[in-house]
C-alpha cells in the first residue's frame, strides 16, 4: 500500500488493519502527500512553511491526521479533496506539524484525533464526535462542522504559524 493512500485512509478514517500495523511502526510525522490534481493549478514560484501547533489534546493516545485545503470543496471532512495530507502517532499532549514547500495562497486546515487508533472518527448515536477535531482559526463550533470561510488563512510569507485548539464533546 503506498504512503499516499495510507495517509488518505488515515484522514478518511476508514483504514484497513494493514495500515494500523504500518502506522504503529512509523516514527515521527508521515511524509507530506500532495494531491496532484489540486497541485496542477498552483503557482510553485513562491512557497512557504506552515507550522501548526496542536493544543488542548485530551491525551496522547492514538493518531493525529492533518488535511490542508485550498477551497471549500471537501473541507473539513473529505480528505480526498484536500491539497495536502499528513499524520503522526501521538507522543504527548502538545504536537507540532510542519508543512513545507506549500505554494502561497489561501488555505484551511482540518485536524482529527483518532484516540483509540481504530481508524474511525467515533461518534455517538446522534452523530456527535466522541474524538477530537480542530480547524485553523479555531472557529466556534455550533451545529455542524466549521466552514472554509471562517477557517481560512493566507500563506504569503516564507513561514507562518498556526495554533489549533482541539475540541471534544
- In tens, the pLDDT along 7-56 reads 444 444 333 333 445 555 667 788 899 999 989 999 999 999 999 999 99
- The residue-averaged pLDDT of 108-120 equals 88
In the DSSP assignment, the letter for residue 138 is -
Please name the residue ranges forming H helices in the chain.
Answer: 3-12, 17-25, 36-39, 148-151
pLDDT of residue 121: 79
What are the E-state strand segments in the chain? Answer: 33-34, 47-55, 63-69, 84-89, 95-103, 105-114, 133-135, 153-155, 159-165
pTM of the model: 0.84
SS3 assignment, position 86: strand
Q: Which residues make beta-bridge pairs with 153?
A: 107
pLDDT of residue 22: 52
- Are 166 and 57 spatial neighbours (Cβ–Cβ below 8 Å)? yes
Amino acid at each position: 500500500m503506498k504512503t499516499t493512500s495510507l495517509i488518505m485512509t488515515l484522514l478518511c478514517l476508514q483504514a484497513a488493519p494493514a495500515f494500523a500495523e504500518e502506522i504503529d511502526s512509523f516514527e515521527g510525522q508521515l511524509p507530506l502527500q500532495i494531491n496532484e490534481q489540486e497541485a496542477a493549478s498552483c503557482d510553485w514560484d513562491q512557497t512557504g512553511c506552515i507550522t501548526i501547533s496542536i493544543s488542548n489534546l485530551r491525551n496522547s493516545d492514538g493518531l493525529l491526521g492533518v488535511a490542508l485545503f485550498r477551497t471549500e470543496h471537501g473541507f473539513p471532512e473529505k480528505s480526498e479533496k484536500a491539497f495536502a495530507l499528513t499524520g503522526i502517532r501521538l507522543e504527548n499532549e502538545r504536537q507540532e506539524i510542519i508543512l513545507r514547500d506549500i505554494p502561497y495562497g489561501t488555505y484551511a486546515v482540518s485536524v482529527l484525533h483518532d484516540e483509540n487508533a481504530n481508524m474511525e472518527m467515533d461518534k455517538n448515536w446522534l452523530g456527535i464526535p466522541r474524538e477530537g477535531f480542530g480547524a485553523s482559526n479555531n472557529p466556534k463550533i455550533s451545529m455542524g462542522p466549521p466552514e472554509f470561510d471562517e477557517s481560512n488563512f493566507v500563506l504569503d510569507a516564507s513561514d507562518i504559524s498556526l495554533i489549533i485548539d482541539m475540541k471534544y464533546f
